Amino acid sequence: MAKLSAFIVDNDENTREIIKNLIQEVENVEIADVFNTISDAYNEILKEKPNFVFVSTVNNSQDVFGLIEKITLVNNKIKFIVMASSYDTNSVIKAMRAGAREFLPKPLIKEDFIKTVNRLKEQFSGNDSNTNCKIITTFSNKGGIGKTSIATNLALEIANITKEKVAIVDMNFQLGDVATFLDIKPSFDISYVVKNIDGTDNNFLESTLDKYKDTSLYVLADPPYMEQAKDITPEQITKLFDELRKSFSYVIVDTSNVFDGKTITVLDNTDFIMLVTIVNLPAIRNCQRCLDVFERLGYSKDKSKIVINRYMENDEVTVEDVENTLNKKVYWKIPNNYFTIMSSINKGLPVEYINPSSNIAQSFRELATVLSDNIYKQKIAQKIERNPLINFKSLMG
Ligand SMILES: Nc1ncnc2c1ncn2[C@@H]1O[C@H](COP(=O)(O)OP(=O)(O)O)[C@@H](O)[C@H]1O
Ligand SMILES: [Mg+2]
């Protein structure tokens, strides 16, 4: 494999030397150029297209984030690693949103640095075992509750907000309608994919899934004939998730409402279950049953999040009632907006395209922001925890 190139953007001589020394510990990566500021480096980065840019930010400079975003829009293969000695969690999130792929607290820690670069390196060779991928599944043991509406709209918003690669996978094998909700004619479906995936072709999923419009969202539809779904095994589903994790940062899964072997395999592989309910007693009782099943399956309490759909302020049953009955906090409320949702489903377009200022589009955007923020925050916290030189509490407070 050809050597990978890296730029250093830091006006501190000392840090530059440290990075130069550390990079020698990473096989196959060399420093191609050094700059003081990102504006100095801007044209060269676009021209030379280095594989990595190590860039320091002082006082979370908006300039740095703005330029990273500008470059990433043109070339999202360049991996920015943002470094900072003083920062807060929100500014790290801003850097990630701008397109930075990694964040390293200063002073740099040798092991962390090497590990981070090696992991990013794998993305160039395609052997990336993306441990950062999060799988989010919408579930309910009732139909018609809003699972597909939430899965499709949430997936689009996460793609828009994070600009990372997001897959929406229809695992409602018998009655899937993700493709209908997004009005796409899928080139391949999930039964084709599970039969042909062998883990050797790194571009297999990217070339098989349908890219949605001008976004970073990719769609994997259910099989066109119900019989084809019968042949899909839980092992194949797990294998598919393993492969999806390598190529995508987020995988949103829409499920059926039966607790069969396939659905349980999906839930086992899931990081966050969006347990969807509406505010009426039968639905809440069903929700309680699902939580009981999750407990028996050994899932942690944090794994499932209660999402109330079709929420109305003046409902007879209140959110408190729901929380008391379920003995669990409500994670999110999606407003009732029959008009916008129906128009969205009939036109096969997410609500963002129907009416971006509607309460429901706003709610999906905010949910996507909160979810992806929490995921970034977990990542930052893990990093900071590993860095004994940084006072963890003072940063997260
Ligand atoms: N937030 C909402 N406000 C109003 N109606 C909704 C909302 N979400 C879903 N619906 C209605 O519920 C129906 C079922 O939604 P869908 O997403 O297909 O549910 P599921 O996938 O759980 O079967 C939709 O056709 C729509 O009419
Ligand atoms: Mg559905």
Proportion of the chain above pLDDT 90, given as a percent: 71
The partner residues of 56 in beta bridges, in order of sequence, read: 83
Q: What is the mean pLDDT of residues 191-210?
A: 89
User: Could you tell me which residue, 248 or 86, shows the higher pLDDT?
Assistant: 248
What single string gives the DSSP state of each residue in 206-242?
HHHSEE-TTSSEEEEBPPSSHHHHHT--HHHHHHHHH
Domain ranges for the chain, please list them: 4-126, 134-373
For residue 135, give both structure tokens: 């799988």
Question: What is the pLDDT at residue 393?
Answer: 43
Q: Among the atoms of ligand 1, which is closest to the Cα of residue 144?
A: 23
Residue 244: closest CA among 130, 159, 127: 130
Question: What is the pLDDT at residue 227?
Answer: 87
The lowest-confidence range among 57-71, 215-229, 251-265 is: 57-71
Q: Is the CB of 346 under 6 A from ligand 1?
A: no
Q: Is the CB of 333 under 6 A from ligand 1?
A: no
Does domain 134-373 fall under CATH 3.40.50.150? My reply is no
Q: Among the atoms of ligand 1, which is closest to the Cα of residue 151?
A: 17
Q: Is the CB of 50 under 6 A from ligand 1?
A: no
pLDDT of 203-227, one tens digit each? 899 899 999 999 999 999 999 888 8
DSSP 3-state of 284:
helix
H-helix or E-strand spanning residue 168: strand 166-171
Q: What is the rounded distance in angstroms from the CA atom of residue 316 to the CA atom of residue 313?
A: 9
Question: What is the pLDDT at residue 130?
Answer: 55
Question: What is the pLDDT at residue 319?
Answer: 96
pLDDT interval class at 127 (50, 70, 90): low
In this structure, the residue with its CA closest to atom 14 of ligand 1 is 144
| pLDDT over 80 (residue 128) | no
In this structure, the residue with its CA closest to atom 5 of ligand 1 is 338
Chain-wide mean pLDDT for the chain? Answer: 90
Q: Is the CB of 358 under 6 A from ligand 1?
A: no
Note whether 219 and 184 are within 8 A (CB).
Answer: yes
Q: Among the atoms of ligand 1, which is closest to the Cα of residue 334?
A: 1
5: Cβ–Cβ under 8 A, 6 or more apart, which residues? Answer: 29, 30, 31, 32, 48, 50, 51, 52
The lowest-confidence range among 8-22, 195-209, 379-393 is: 379-393
Q: Do domains 4-126 and 134-373 have the same CATH topology?
A: yes
Cis status, amide bond into 107, omega within 30 of 0:
yes
Question: What is the pLDDT at residue 51?
Answer: 95
Question: What is the pLDDT at residue 124?
Answer: 75
What single string gives the DSSP state of each residue in 252-283?
EEEE-SS--HHHHHHHHT-SEEEEEE-SSHHH
In this structure, the residue with its CA closest to atom 4 of ligand 1 is 338
pLDDT interval class at 386 (50, 70, 90): low
- Angle of helix 281-296 relative to helix 319-326, nearest 10 degrees? 30
Residue 145: closest CA among 254, 271, 221, 219: 254
CATH fold of 4-126, please?
Answer: Rossmann fold (3.40.50)
| pLDDT over 70 (residue 389) | no
Q: What is the pTM of this model?
A: 0.83
| pLDDT over 70 (residue 387) | no
Q: What is the mean pLDDT of residues 377-396?
A: 62
Q: Which of 137, 139, 149, 358 to mutate to test the pocket of ligand 1 (most atoms within 8 A of CB)?
A: 149
pLDDT interval class at 131 (50, 70, 90): low
Q: What is the mean pLDDT of residues 283-310?
A: 96
Ligand nearest to the CA of 344: 1
